[in-house]
A and B are shown apart, each in its own frame.
Chain A
Amino acid sequence: MLIIQNQEIAHHQNEGIRSKWTFEELRKIPEFGALIAFLALFIFFAICAPRFFSLRNITSLLTIIAELGIMTVGISFLMIGGEIDLSVSSAYATAGFVFVTLANIFTFPLGSLLAFIVALLVSLLIGFVNSRVVLRGGIPSFIATLGMMMFLRGILLGITGGRSISYAGDSLVPSLLTGIMAYRFRPSHFWFIAIVVVFSFILNHTVFGNRVFATGGKKLAAYTMGVNVNQVKTACFMISSVLAGLSGVIAISRFSLANVSFGQGMELEAIAASVIGGTLMTGGYGSIIGAALGAGIMGMVRTGLVMAGVPSYWYNAFVGIILVIAAVVNLKLRSTILGE
């Protein structure tokens, strides 16, 4: 119970250092479930799929995981803040389209850099509009962002007619984002890790992050305590969109091509990755590192199955099962932390 003897406090504090690494304590880390799942799947595929555990394949996986992961970090942040964004895949495609179109037009030096900045600004704008519709319009974010997703796809389809647009701009931004390095590593792998570190830090070690947890956990309580919940949510929407846009530009740089169909369905993958990583769909609880691990799992499953010789029809079924299992496991682990 609440009131305990002073002796017990002292004892507990001494225990603190020793008990940090026991299973009991480890279980309480929000990322624990995702980490175990990631390692288990990795080992599973390394055994069952020939050449899965080869440098070539690992760098390929990192490429996929980095792109999905950047989008997942953004959407996780927003989910922790208590909202959802289904328009991330459209922000991804739109940013890619804007980037390619402008880079092709800006033939002056550093043209691709300017195109990149504009593409990111457009992504921020998408997030901002989403936030206005939700916060001023009073529309649930699921609906609002669903509408935005379809709206953007429709516009892109109308403009491009389904045609692919080839990249003809300078190589500055593409090589900075996704240029092939030694052993097929790419800068995007490092950008991804950097983004995970930065946003995990923001979430856990800043005033803003504390308020994101609060806003997602119980909006009314946060408001009562003086948190500007609208401001917090707006920021979260914009983070979600801009990271999705960044992911889109990276993918488009890799393919040297933009097509309106790119990224379709990716919003569900990102949400699944987020949930597998331990983020609560109802908000207020989650982990950015968990999101990264979730993206790692989603990214590795498809390739792992293909290389293990499983017919690709089974991919979706497999992912579905993993998602549900992960959700159940995370629920159980969470209840030990939250004492629910």
Chain B
Amino acid sequence: MKFGKKLLLALTVVLLSTLLLGVGLAQEEEVNVWVVVHGGIADPFWKRVEKGVMDAATNHSDLEVTYTGPSEYNFTEFIADIEAAVASKPDVLVCTLTEPDAMDEVLRTAIADGLPVIAINAPDLREPPENRIPVLTYVGEDSYHIGVVAAEETLKRFTPKRALFVNHHPGARNIELRGQGFIDTLGKNDIPAEALDITADAVQGAEITLAYLVAHPDTEVIFSTNTLRTEAIVTRLLDEGIDVGNEVKIASMDMSEKVLEYIQEGQVMFTLDQQQYLQGYLGVEFAYLHAKYGFTPPPAPVSTGPGVITAENVPQLMELSKQGYR
């Protein structure tokens, strides 16, 4: 080889080695936290979580946070990202437990190997509790409690003759618990309430809800825990000539522009904000404090709300929504 080429090769090797060394050194000084969510991370809901994560990351100069997940919900990609995170050997892993059965093996092994895991947004609710993945803690909605608050806020406003909880994701434990909290609390006040499976299809779900109302005309409040479904149901009922907001009142969860509009116009009483920003923010904070100083975070569930959004605070909410906090 000519001398020039040899020199170039030698320089490349030196540069690469320095790069690798630098990367290795940099890692030793920092606290490395990986956050993996099932997303999709392009979804506006998860953008709030991401903002919480990134804001917490700026709190500490020696904190390095990696946030990832599939850009559209895809379970196989999500698991692949979890595996990538575990293989990267971070100090703490923060992740959602969207399918505890499927995630059990990989997380349990990682935890046994010494990786602390903090769950956010979606917990492991399998029974009995001993079978659950041994995470450090869980930060997110307390599903049962959300249902309770929904019922309590409803009762603050009026006493319905009959109530309906619509389940848009049958089989999802956390959603079932929301319904449970709602139904139980109303039951304590002798108000009949039940859960209705409105399937994964928004259009079909709206039809099923309408059919229920026709069969049970004394239903005066509907609790939906998904903004898309709330919108679909309200639209459908209005189409049918029902006076939504007076004849039938709506309680909702999470936020969207349309739902906030409905609240201002009176069709929807209130919405419950699970404050997912806090899930990201607190998740990362707890992770850092645990990794750096060994602090044990508060026990699960660390409930991030719910915040109650009504017509009064909608203007403020709209502003915060634009900024990406709520």
Chain A residues in contact with chain B, CB under 8 A? 47, 50-52, 54, 56-57, 60, 63-64, 157, 161-164, 166-167, 180, 251, 254-257, 259, 261-266, 302-303, 306-307, 309, 311-313, 315-316
A52, B89: Cα distance in complex, Å: 11
Q: Could you name 14 residue pairs across A and B whose Cβ atoms are closer than 8 Å?
A: A51-B87, A60-B80, A60-B84, A60-B87, A63-B83, A161-B171, A162-B169, A162-B199, A166-B101, A255-B102, A257-B99, A264-B74, A306-B85, A312-B81
A-contact bits for B56-98, CB 8 A (1 contact / 0 none): 0000000000101111011111011101111111000000000
Residue of B nearest to A167 (CB): B101
Given contacts A54-B87, A161-B200, contact A303 B101 (CB under 8 A): no
| Contact between chains at B71 and A313 (CB < 8 Å) | yes
Chain B residues in contact with chain A, CB under 8 A? 16, 19-20, 23-24, 27, 41-42, 66, 68-71, 73-77, 79-81, 83-89, 99, 101-102, 104-105, 109, 169-171, 197, 199-200
| Contact between chains at B87 and A64 (CB < 8 Å) | no
Q: Which residues of B contact A63 (CB under 8 A)?
A: 83
Q: Which residues of B contact A251 (CB under 8 A)?
A: 76
Residue of B nearest to A266 (CB): B76
A187, B84: Cα distance in complex, Å: 20
Q: Which residues of B contact A256 (CB under 8 A)?
A: 101-102, 104-105
Q: Which residues of B contact A315 (CB under 8 A)?
A: 71
A262, B76: Cα distance in complex, Å: 7
| Contact between chains at A303 and B83 (CB < 8 Å) | yes
Given contacts A47-B19, A47-B20, A166-B101, contact A307 B84 (CB under 8 A): yes
Interface centre among B27, B76, B77, B87 (most CB of A within 10 A): B87
| Contact between chains at A261 and B75 (CB < 8 Å) | yes
Residue of B nearest to A166 (CB): B101
Chain A nearest CB from B95 CB (Å) reads 13
A315, B20: Cα distance in complex, Å: 23
| Contact between chains at A163 and B171 (CB < 8 Å) | yes
Chain B nearest CB from A317 CB (Å) reads 11
A240, B59: Cα distance in complex, Å: 52
Interface centre among B20, B77, B84, B85 (most CB of A within 10 A): B84
Given contacts A164-B99, A257-B101, contact A309 B86 (CB under 8 A): no
| Contact between chains at B99 and A255 (CB < 8 Å) | yes
Q: Which residues of A contact B105 (CB under 8 A)?
A: 180, 256
A56, B86: Cα distance in complex, Å: 8
Given contacts A51-B88, A257-B99, contact A312 B199 (CB under 8 A): no
A315, B74: Cα distance in complex, Å: 14
Q: Which residues of B contact A263 (CB under 8 A)?
A: 76
Q: Which residues of A contact B101 (CB under 8 A)?
A: 166-167, 255-257
Given contacts A161-B199, A164-B99, A263-B76, contact A306 B81 (CB under 8 A): yes
A163, B197: Cα distance in complex, Å: 11
Chain B nearest CB from A316 CB (Å) reads 7
Q: Which residues of A contact B70 (CB under 8 A)?
A: 312
